[in-house]
Amino acid sequence: MPELPEVEVTRRGVAPHLEGRVVTAVVLRHTGLRWPFPPNLSELLVGRTILRTGRRGKYLLIGFEHGTLIVHLGMSGHLRILPQSTPAQKHDHFDLGVGDQIMRLTDPRRFGAVLWHGNEEGVLDEHLLLRSLGVEPLEDTFTALLLYKQTRKRSAPIKQVLLAGDIVVGVGNIYASESLFKAGINPKVAAHRISLARYEKLAKAIRETLAAAIEKGGSTLRDFMAADGQPGYFQQSYFVYDRAGDPCRVCGNEVRQLKQGQRSTFYCPNCQK
């Protein structure tokens, strides 16, 4: 699944082609993806100017004067900027036309979403999909003190707390494993047992890990590609993720794998206490 770095790489890729442009066409090839498409989306968007692009967690936000288009890539989706004449393929579900180009959403598994939030519906942050999201990990509101205070009554393993997304958003499976390794914290440790000093290391590790992933174009997941069709290269820098049985890049001990909440966790028992 595309995580925060992949969505941010996508946003940065499409932004120069969208911002300040007038929408010339909206093409919906099915009734919807995870949720139905807004039935009047063409009427809402054609002729309107795209003012900005943004991101909230794993949601891409395309802002207009009268509302926001919310796009989620689901498990297998990606966006590309293509010439308007590019023929659609089987899994191409949504086109947003801007001049002689289109932004096309391709989603083989159809777990993505294209939704509309009009200004008359209230503040965007109160949208059903956004209201329970935690702070953004790359913004100043994300601090070690926040992590410490919000976990005093959390007995769940720290890896699961990070994935929950209600304290800090967008730290998905890959980057949680990598950040915990970088901070030297075992993923099985109960969140409330971690000291403020160790949360300082974890907050720093999360910021650095996500920033490095964005810089390298994200990770090459099975279905992910950037808006220009290029893969990401952060996977070449993994310390533990998907390296079960391999020697730790720091100490040489064997990297281990375990299941936490149906997700695979990778860690080094020697480096992470």
Q: Where are the domains of the chain?
A: 4-126, 144-267
pLDDT, tens only, 179-213? 999 999 999 999 999 999 999 999 999 999 999 99
Q: Whose CA is closest to 17, among 231, 232, 228, 230?
A: 228
Catalytic (active site) residue 263: yes
Higher model confidence: residue 229 or residue 73? 73
- Of 19, 256, 263, 269, the active-site residue reads 263
* 2 — pLDDT class (breaks 50, 70, 90): confident
Q: Which residue has the tokens 């099975």?
A: 222
Q: Residue 107 has what pLDDT?
A: 95
Give the homologous superfamily in CATH for domain 4-126. MutM-like, N-terminal (3.20.190.10)
First vs last Cα of the chain: how many Å apart? Answer: 28
pLDDT tens per residue, range 116-162? 999 999 999 999 999 999 999 999 999 999 999 999 999 999 999 99
Q: Based on the residue annotation, tell me whether 3 is a catalytic residue of this protein.
A: yes
The H-assigned helical ranges of 19-131 are: 41-45
User: Which one from 3, 6, 8, 178 is the annotated catalytic residue?
Assistant: 3
Instruction: Label residue 230 by pLDDT band (50, 70, 90).
Output: low
* Catalytic residue from among 11, 55, 58, 182: 58
Q: Give the pTM.
A: 0.90
Confidence of residue 228 (pLDDT cuts 50, 70, 90): low
Contacts of residue 144, Cβ cutoff 8 Å, sequence gap at least 6:
196, 199, 200, 202, 203, 204
Amino acid at residue number 94: F
Task: Assign domain 144-267 one CATH number from 1.10.8.50, 1.10.10.10, 3.90.1150.10, 1.10.490.10.
Answer: 1.10.8.50
E-state strands within the chain:
23-28, 52-56, 59-64, 67-72, 78-83, 92-98, 101-106, 113-118, 256-260, 263-267
- Is the four-CA dihedral 133, 151, 241, 184 of positive or negative sign? positive
